[in-house]
A and B are shown apart, each in its own frame.
Chain A
Amino acid sequence: MLLAAAATSLVACSDEPSGPVALRLLAYDSFPTEGTPLNDALDAWAESTGRTVEVVTGGDTGTLVTKAVLTAGNPEADVIWGVDNTWLSAATEGGIYADDPVVADVGDVCVNYDIEWFAAKGIEPPTTLADLVDPTYAGLLAVQDPTASSPGLAFLLATIASEGEGWQDYWTALRANDVAVADSWETAYYELFTRAGGDRPLVVSYGSSPPAEVVLADPPRTDAPTGVVEQTCFRQTEYVGVLAGTDHPDDAAALVEFLTSPEFQAELPLTLFVYPADPAIELPQVFVDFAVVPTSPWTIDPAEIDANRQTWQEQWTALLGS
């Protein structure tokens, strides 16, 4: 009883509206928490509207979604950014959104390669998914766990779209070819990739990763050190929405509105390295120059993803899970 009383009083405390409305924005780990134009835009908006916004990161998209599902109705934050088309059904069925989420950004998940590494070894980079199981590329590829990571799941879906029924054989062959599995995109791209000092010159990342390499290069450079294997791409659409059960539904809706406004969206290409939801927004030149837009990315019907996601994840886990 004591405890319950104490608990109630704590709840009461945290609910007390005092000062500006404090909003929490839940996002995946690669969403910057401070110090970028994106955060500056966010802070400027918050200040001008008498609110504060705290960015909370909660792992890669898969982890983000399942945690949100487990706390649906009593969320950890007010707005969630970054649930993508591969996870969307799980999120909506789990009842995490107060309203329908809206498109936040678009990107392509593709295998990237380290241009200098391949040049130094005198090996041609792969061009297709089938190449990846070729012994030439043994021990070179890093992917993400599709039960935790959205690019991981997108790449799994690309292989399912490409290989059909035979996708498990394809992954068995990938395992035999010594594929490395990371729990998140950050780990794969910033630890395993040769560009980050790892030993994998092939990594599942984004079609827009090469411009990031140019923009963030230190010392500055004018050409992209990484390339994209176009025929491995899977189209990914990310969503943003108000979490069901937020204490500040109106403020949260206002935040979502801002996040999808041209003012904020214009910052996306050079901080998150994704395409704005609205194709009319002008893209920075460096982005246009180096980002790869595949002509025919792999896709799978959303209904089919809904129906099979968990089965595929379980089957993949049985093959390669950790």
Chain B
Amino acid sequence: MVALATPPTVVIVGFVVVPALVIAVRTVGAGAIGEALGSRRVLSIAWFTVWQAVLTTVVTLAVGMVPAYVLARRRFRGRTLIRTLVVVPFMLPTVVTGAAFLALLPDSARGTWWAVIVAHSYVNLAVVVRVVGSAWETLPHDLTASARTLGASPWNVARHVVAPLLAPATVAAGAIVFLFAATSFGIVQLLGDGSTTTIEAEVARRALRYGDVGGAVVLSVAQLLVLGSVAVATSRRQRRSAHTLRGDARPRPARRGIPRVRALSIAAVTAILVAGPLVMLCAASFRNAGGWTSRAWTSWGSGSIRPGISLGVDPWSAIRASVVTAVVATSIATVVGVLAALAVTEMRRGGQWLDTGIMLPLGISGVTVGLGMLVTFAVPPFDWRGQWWLVPVGHALIGLPFVVRVALPRIRSIQPDQRSAALLLGASPTRAWWETTVRRVTPALGPAVALAAAASLGEFGATTLLSRSGSDTLPLAIAGLLSRPGDLPRSQGFALAAVLMGVTAVLVSLAEGRADARHR
């Protein structure tokens, strides 16, 4: 079992824990702490980061409660479809979402605080609908009915029964939304400007624009500390209050008349809100100032402006870079992830540590993962900054949690009896383990591979720091094209974003479809 745990442990310790420690130590050693944290610009960005995240959380909770209610409590045709649709924005690469809102909103919206908050709320709607919704799905209809018979008006039922019972899920959803909004990178890169930006984007800006690695490191450590404490505080609170409920809680059809019209309109509006920006993105790739055109799709790669100089981004090379990176990253993530999942189930205490370690890259933001690797692997013999495989390894780290989360329940569902039976039938312990465990994990790999590939294709933060000249991946190419003021590059950016959206949607629905099939 130790043999199983070794590769994932080496990867996590080597590429996540050590880099995080290195940047923490560098921070303590740097005299730059006061300078970096005391600057007016940093304070104003920190302030914007926090208040936009708080406002995003409030808006997302307020807006998300309505579809969360309808999708959890009401049965209607198309419910499953809308439930899947709502999750799409959350799984899409952030540059795609950013691109979609650039396409949807007027040009004057770029750089406004509300554009950032609207896009953040859009992405995180799924968190509220799914997390609060799944709590709502456990509230028995008779529980609220009994409150009604005790004299509680609908408002009082909501206030005294439903709200307190949904509170833990609401806090959990709110915490997740807050953390995602506070560490947002892709969306503020595309929709924000010099002042409507996050600490995360400022870390990248310091490292890449000013060459100020020390300042970047201090900022990312400060961000880690603050967000880490928010995460710990809310997960504590969540654990304290969990209830078991009994009784029929399945969604029911709305009553005829106004209630049914209301439920169906909420569902329809939700579907339009979710699909709208994505449709606009596709439409924008066929538009320029003059009207409808397919130039963005037909002029790929032709950008020669002067002998020997081609302008900006070559989409084909970006696609090639993304595919190669995704293949390598997915292979690493799958192998390491499955080994980790096996090790986690086989070992007790050590397994828990490993499990937590694997989830780390999700908590630590992408930019910080990239920065940590860049700073750590700068000393021979571990000077790997120029190595091509650093980007896929970064992507693998971010795909790893998905693989483990998909593989773990599958492995855990294997009955111990089966193994004892195999042993009794005369198999050696290793053989028994191979036959009963390893062979049963393999079918679970499809969704895991799809999710890891999707994570790699869309990864933006770590790639921004690790990518080498001339091998930009799709998200970098999209962000580059969209940051250019010209008409054609913009529509090419939209076209590439539409491609990335399509590929991600296919991968995610493959993963979801396989997962659904297994549950049935």
- Establish whether residues A76 and B386, one from each chain, have CB atoms under 8 Å apart when the complex forms: yes
Given A67-B469, A74-B385, A192-B486, check contact A33 B308 (CB 8 Å): yes
- Flag the segment in B6-14, B240-248, B401-409 that touches A: B6-14
- Establish whether residues A29 and B309, one from each chain, have CB atoms under 8 Å apart when the complex forms: yes
Given A33-B309, A57-B469, check contact A66 B208 (CB 8 Å): yes
Q: In this complex, which of B14, B207, B209, B312 has the most chain A Cβ atoms within 10 angstroms of its Cβ?
A: B209
Q: In this complex, which of B39, B207, B332, B483 has the most chain A Cβ atoms within 10 angstroms of its Cβ?
A: B483
B484 at interface (Cβ–Cβ under 8 A)?
yes
B498 to chain A, nearest CB (A): 21
- Which residues in window 54-110 of A have CB below 8 A to B? 56-59, 62-67, 69-77, 90, 94
- Establish whether residues A94 and B211, one from each chain, have CB atoms under 8 Å apart when the complex forms: yes
- Least CB separation from B190: chain A residue: A322
- Least CB separation from B39: chain A residue: A314
- Least CB separation from B9: chain A residue: A1
Enumerate chain A residues within 8 angstroms of B389, measured Cβ to Cβ: 7, 10
- Establish whether residues A39 and B308, one from each chain, have CB atoms under 8 Å apart when the complex forms: yes
B229 to chain A, nearest CB (A): 28
- Establish whether residues B489 and A310, one from each chain, have CB atoms under 8 Å apart when the complex forms: no
- Flag the segment in A127-135, A178-186, A294-302 that touches B: A178-186
A103 to chain B, nearest CB (A): 22
- Least CB separation from B310: chain A residue: A33
- Establish whether residues A182 and B469, one from each chain, have CB atoms under 8 Å apart when the complex forms: no
**A 187-212 to B, binary, CB cutoff 8 A, 1 in contact else 0:** 10011100010100000000000001
Enumerate chain A residues within 8 angstroms of B7, measured Cβ to Cβ: 1-3
- Establish whether residues B309 and A320, one from each chain, have CB atoms under 8 Å apart when the complex forms: no
**A 288-322 to B, binary, CB cutoff 8 A, 1 in contact else 0:** 00000000000000000000001001110111111
Report which of B205, B387, B393 forms a contact with A317, defined as CB distance below 8 A.
Answer: B205
C-alpha gap A314/B306 in the complex (Å): 33
B378 at interface (Cβ–Cβ under 8 A)?
yes
Enumerate chain A residues within 8 angstroms of B384, measured Cβ to Cβ: 7, 74
- Establish whether residues A32 and B468, one from each chain, have CB atoms under 8 Å apart when the complex forms: no
Number of A-B contacts (CB under 8 A): 153
B373 to chain A, nearest CB (A): 11
Report which of A62, A182, A320 forms a contact with B484, defined as CB distance below 8 A.
Answer: A182
- Establish whether residues A191 and B386, one from each chain, have CB atoms under 8 Å apart when the complex forms: no
B146 at interface (Cβ–Cβ under 8 A)?
no
- Establish whether residues A58 and B485, one from each chain, have CB atoms under 8 Å apart when the complex forms: no
- Which residues in window 183-222 of B have CB below 8 A to A? 192-195, 197, 205, 207-213
A11 at interface (Cβ–Cβ under 8 A)?
yes
C-alpha gap A30/B304 in the complex (Å): 11
- Establish whether residues A187 and B484, one from each chain, have CB atoms under 8 Å apart when the complex forms: yes
A36 at interface (Cβ–Cβ under 8 A)?
yes
- Least CB separation from B6: chain A residue: A1
C-alpha gap A67/B465 in the complex (Å): 9
- Establish whether residues A186 and B210, one from each chain, have CB atoms under 8 Å apart when the complex forms: no
A6 to chain B, nearest CB (A): 8
A222 to chain B, nearest CB (A): 20
Enumerate chain B residues within 8 angstroms of A198, measured Cβ to Cβ: 485-486
B90 to chain A, nearest CB (A): 26
A282 at interface (Cβ–Cβ under 8 A)?
no
A26 at interface (Cβ–Cβ under 8 A)?
yes
B470 at interface (Cβ–Cβ under 8 A)?
yes
B34 at interface (Cβ–Cβ under 8 A)?
no
Q: In this complex, which of A58, A75, A187 has the most chain B Cβ atoms within 10 angstroms of its Cβ?
A: A187
- Establish whether residues B385 and A71, one from each chain, have CB atoms under 8 Å apart when the complex forms: yes
Report which of B41, B378, B483, B488 forms a contact with A183, defined as CB distance below 8 A.
Answer: B483
Report which of B192, B211, B308, B485 forms a contact with A70, defined as CB distance below 8 A.
Answer: B211
A35 at interface (Cβ–Cβ under 8 A)?
yes
- Establish whether residues B193 and A321, one from each chain, have CB atoms under 8 Å apart when the complex forms: yes
B151 at interface (Cβ–Cβ under 8 A)?
no
C-alpha gap A319/B210 in the complex (Å): 16
Q: In this complex, which of B11, B110, B305 has the most chain A Cβ atoms within 10 angstroms of its Cβ?
A: B305
- Establish whether residues B383 and A73, one from each chain, have CB atoms under 8 Å apart when the complex forms: yes
B462 at interface (Cβ–Cβ under 8 A)?
no
A281 at interface (Cβ–Cβ under 8 A)?
no
C-alpha gap A34/B201 in the complex (Å): 35
- Establish whether residues A75 and B484, one from each chain, have CB atoms under 8 Å apart when the complex forms: no
- Establish whether residues A32 and B309, one from each chain, have CB atoms under 8 Å apart when the complex forms: yes
B368 to chain A, nearest CB (A): 15
B17 to chain A, nearest CB (A): 15
A231 at interface (Cβ–Cβ under 8 A)?
no
C-alpha gap A315/B387 in the complex (Å): 35
Enumerate chain B residues within 8 angstroms of A29, measured Cβ to Cβ: 309, 312
Enumerate chain A residues within 8 angstroms of B385, measured Cβ to Cβ: 70-71, 74
C-alpha gap A1/B470 in the complex (Å): 30
Report which of B44, B193, B211, B489 forms a contact with A322, defined as CB distance below 8 A.
Answer: B193
- Establish whether residues A3 and B307, one from each chain, have CB atoms under 8 Å apart when the complex forms: no
- Establish whether residues B378 and A182, one from each chain, have CB atoms under 8 Å apart when the complex forms: no
B341 at interface (Cβ–Cβ under 8 A)?
no
17 contacting pairs across A/B (C-beta < 8 A): A1-B10, A26-B469, A33-B310, A57-B469, A58-B470, A66-B208, A66-B209, A67-B469, A70-B465, A73-B383, A74-B378, A74-B383, A74-B386, A190-B305, A192-B485, A310-B210, A315-B41
In the complex, the 8 A-B pairs of residues with the closest C-beta atoms, listed nearest first:
A321-B194, A32-B308, A58-B469, A191-B486, A66-B211, A147-B209, A317-B194, A69-B211
Q: What would 19 more interface pairs be, CB under 8 Å, given A73-B383, A77-B469?
A: A29-B309, A30-B306, A30-B309, A62-B209, A63-B208, A63-B209, A65-B211, A70-B208, A70-B465, A71-B385, A73-B378, A180-B485, A187-B312, A315-B41, A318-B41, A320-B194, A321-B193, A322-B194, A322-B483
